[in-house]
Amino acid sequence: MKTIAFFNNKGGVGTTSLVYHLTWMFADHGIKTLVVDLDPQANLTAMFLDEDRLEQLWPDDEHPDTVYGSLRPILRGTGDIAQPHVEMITETLGLIPGDLGLSRFEDKLSDAWLRCHNRDESAFRTMTAFHRLVQRGAEWGAELVLIDVGPNLGAINRSALIASDQVCLPLAPDLFSLQGLKNLGPTLREWRTLWAELLTKAPADLPMPRGAMQPVGYIVMQHGMLDTRPVKAYKR
């Protein structure tokens, strides 16, 4: 099984749309594909599901069938993740639905990152919750896992990337994306190096993701046209 995250700290470049279409494409080719919505905006989930289903998934009280529901025992400090619900869209396409509540996990993950330095087992469980979510969510035989994340360099994304074998960078051909890349490269390198260091402090009996986050390349969105000319940044 291979896990690929789609990530850019510059937002609005079409990441979620790309993940949506790629998921369908792989699934239509008969590759069992699990797609995981780890962006608290949950736009990907809204693309896959109709309003009636969304209302069922996101009632006023508990959300057992979303990513938040699965992570809740960790957030409350009462135990490990609950078995994630996988919404089967077709026989070859499963979705772990996103949730706005996921943003409440951000502080917990920031804190866990620091506590991992002290060999704290519960901190390692928190840091690797997404990894186990993906592994358990793929138990129906998923061969490929695609992860959509939001546009920032925060703790949720760090943890999502640690759970990923590869990372693909969607880009828009503009100055913002070029600037964004200058932050992204060093940050990914730093996350990978620090996680490798933390792994030496991890409890031996807890399965740990390697945190390879190997970059597999860029996908550049179609350029905008100004007066039938491509914008200058695209030419560059």
Ligand X SMILES: Nc1ncnc2c1ncn2[C@@H]1O[C@H](COP(=O)(O)OP(=O)(O)OP(=O)(O)O)[C@@H](O)[C@H]1O
Least separation, in Å, of the C-beta of 170 and ligand X?
A: 7
Nearer to ligand X, 17 or 103 (CB): 17
Tell me, what DSSP letter sits at residue 161? H
Q: Could you tell which of ligand X, Mg ion, none binds residue 17, using a CB distance below 5 to 8 A set by kind? A: ligand X
Binding mask 106-145 for ligand X (x = CB under 6 A): ----------------------------------------
Instruction: Please state, in angstroms and rounded to a whole number, the distance separating the CA atoms of residues 153 and 158.
Output: 7
Least separation, in Å, of the C-beta of 213 and Mg ion?
A: 18
Binding mask 9-38 for ligand X (x = CB under 6 A): --xxxxxxx---------------------
Q: How far is CA 156 from the centre of its chain?
A: 8
Q: Could you tell which of ligand X, Mg ion, none binds residue 126, using a CB distance below 5 to 8 A set by kind? A: none
Nearer to Mg ion, 16 or 135 (CB): 16
Which residues neighbour 76 within 8 Å (Cβ) at sequence distance 6 or greater? none
Question: How many chain residues interact with ligand X (CB under 6 A)?
Answer: 14
Nearer to Mg ion, 16 or 157 (CB): 16
Instruction: Please state, in angstroms and rounded to a whole number, the distance separating the CA atoms of residues 40 and 218.
Output: 23
Q: How far is CA 71 from the centre of its chain?
A: 14
The structure tokens listed for 114 are: 């620091």
Q: Under the criterion CB under 6 A, does residue 98 sit at the interface with ligand X?
A: no
Nearer to Mg ion, 43 or 110 (CB): 43
Instruction: Please state, in angstroms and rounded to a whole number, the distance separating the CA atoms of residues 211 and 159.
Output: 9
Instruction: Please state, in angstroms and rounded to a whole number, the distance separating the CA atoms of residues 66 and 128.
Output: 18
Nearer to Mg ion, 15 or 45 (CB): 15
Instruction: Please state, in angstroms and rounded to a whole number, the distance separating the CA atoms of residues 12 and 37.
Output: 16
Residues numbered 31 to 70 that lie near ligand X (CB under 6 A) are 39, 41, 43
Q: Under the criterion CB under 5 A, does residue 16 sit at the interface with Mg ion?
A: yes
How many angstroms separate the Cα of 231 from the Cα of each of 14, 46, 113, 218, 227?
18, 31, 41, 19, 9
Instruction: Please state, in angstroms and rounded to a whole number, the distance separating the CA atoms of residues 206 and 224.
Output: 48
* Footprint of Mg ion (CB under 5 A): 15-16
